[in-house]
Amino acid sequence: MKEKISKTEAKEKIKEFFDKIKSKSPKEVLKIKKLSMKNRIPLGINKKLFCSDCFEPYLGNEKIRITKGFKTVTCEKCGKVKKIKL
């Protein structure tokens, strides 16, 4: 059995994780996402920092286009296009 962590601890863990997201693997991103869902902690703006499909962290070299109030980011790995409202 895994030990249960409190919501505050989970929040702290998530915050620390996103501070260093660029050095993380998709597997770790998925783990943190699950942790946030389990503890009902919204990822908010941090959701923009990784691909929602393959969970690859965005490193800053993906294609970014800005059109009509939307920013679209194309994932380098799986090609998934993410639309972010500006």
Contacting positions for Zn ion (CB under 5 A): 51, 53-54, 56, 75, 77-78, 80
Q: Which is nearer to Zn ion, 11 or 77 (CB)?
A: 77
Tokens describing residue 36: 């946030």
Cα separation of the two ends of the chain: 43
Output 10 or 75, the one with its CB closest to Zn ion.
Answer: 75
Shortest distance, position 83 Cβ to Zn ion, whole Å: 14
Cβ closer to Zn ion: 7 or 48?
48
53: left (phi over 0), alpha (psi -120 to 50) or beta: alpha
